[in-house]
Amino acid sequence: MNAVIVGCGKVGSEIAMTLVTDGHNVSVIDASQKSLDNIEEYLDVMTFLGNGTDLELLKEAGIENADIFIAVSTSDEVNLLSCMIAKQFAKCETIARVRSPLYYKQAEFFKAKLGLSRVINPEFVAASEMYNILQFPALSRIDVFEGTNVVISTMHVTPEYKMIGKNLQQIRMETPNIKALVCAAVRGDEVIIPSGDFVVNEGDDITMVATRNDIRAFIKAEGIPNRPAENIIIAGGGTIAHYLVEKLLTRGKNVRLIDKDEQKCIDFSEQFADCEVIKGDGTDRKFLMRHGLSMADAFIPLTGIDEENIVIANYAKNATRAKVITKVSRTDMNDLIQTLKLDSVIYPKMMTADIITQYVRAKNAGAGGNVATLFRYLDNRIEIAEFKATSEFKYLNIPFAELSLKKNLIIAGIIRGGEFIVPSGRNMIKDNDSVIIVTTNKGINSLTDIVAGK
């Protein structure tokens, strides 16, 4: 597959790396020579200096032979216009990153009139993830399989958890009515695809697949408080805050937003009459305490500086009982974040790259089952994917006990007719099933790829 990417910042670079790893030919356009030099140091890509709306430059980058065109520059206007131009000169799929709330409200119009295949808004995606976590404060991460009630969630095992010292088989026997499967675990630096004899230790991070109701029941069975956050403080009035405040107020939550920029405070007050807006420094610890941090159910630092977000999140985590969600833009701070053991960390740029990678793999998949959803966890060491099985999948109706699956891979669940099934050796994949796969293997592009020696 031939791909052209406009913009090689954090998102563009991450997408390019994934596409190259998956064996695709990639051309990258950016207005910064430094950014192009950086990406050339570690990736085998063709680079072109200039504006993504320059037709001659697009032709030079190979737009006429492109299969997919991805515009993720820092400018919404450049992304939309370059996609429109690309669509006129090639039969490629086009994906645009759009961040402005005004433009994003018109996403369906842009898709229809400009022929866009996909419009992606990283700020909206991040706000949705934060909102989901606020409904399940016991979790550090929760992702939703679109169109279903099935989620994949991660929780940090603290001394209160009753599962400590028990293996997964024993845990399942003690909770027979809960449909949930632990599909991954992290212990120190080790990433584990666990079997039934895996024993849970304090300090583990475990990831499981289940319905929302079963996740809630599992947390309750472990004796962990999980009351949805009602009183939320947000520090920073950017675009993510806009989307998040809108979601929270719709559900009747009490929201207090802090920003030191007077105009931002005025804008938020005018747009959201039910949001309490305070002008001040959201990174000042004493100021936060004076304005209710100690009594808040949740605290979300959304300043434009990662280091500020991390420092104030670490303070709130240690000084209060609030659920703390930290937004981080840079993808090279994972070691520091792990050292501080922050609760929930959201990487909008990584989430955007995952969505685009999922789309590309779906378009490039072989027969038998295309990837419908893709999540990458733990610095890309685990991939969790949902595949749609078709009649062309040659291993339909064969019990899992008779299938030879690849190593470091587990079938974590099946969604059939809206019902979630925790698989056993007797279960099998049927036509039109959604199959959830968890693996440390790279580049599982289709359902057929899960079988060894196919």
Q: Which helix (H) or strand (E) holds 101?
A: helix 101-104
Query: Residue 331: what residue type?
Result: T
Contact assessment for residue 219 and residue 226, using Cβ atoms and an 8 Å cutoff: yes
pLDDT at 354: 82
Beta bridge partners of 345: 326
Q: How many CB atoms neighbour CB 177 within 10 A? A: 7
- Whole-number CA gyration radius for the chain: 23
**Regions of the chain short of the pLDDT cut 70:** 364-369, 379, 443, 453-454
Token digits for 200? 């849970």
Length of the chain measured in residues: 454
Residues in CB range of 332: below 8 A, 6 or more apart: none
Query: Residue 407: what residue type?
Result: K
pLDDT at 365: 56
Residue-wise pLDDT for 184-199, tens only, equals 998 888 889 998 999 9
Residue-wise pLDDT for 404-425, tens only, equals 888 889 999 999 988 999 998 8
Query: What is the CA angle 393-399-405, rounded to 5?
Result: 70
pLDDT at 367: 47
Query: Residue 138: what residue type?
Result: A
Alpha carbon dihedral 60, 63, 68, 72, in 10-degree steps, equals 60
284: number of CA atoms within 13 Å, CB side?
Answer: 10
pLDDT at 364: 66
Query: 125 vs 143, 347, 394, CA distance in Å?
Result: 11, 10, 35
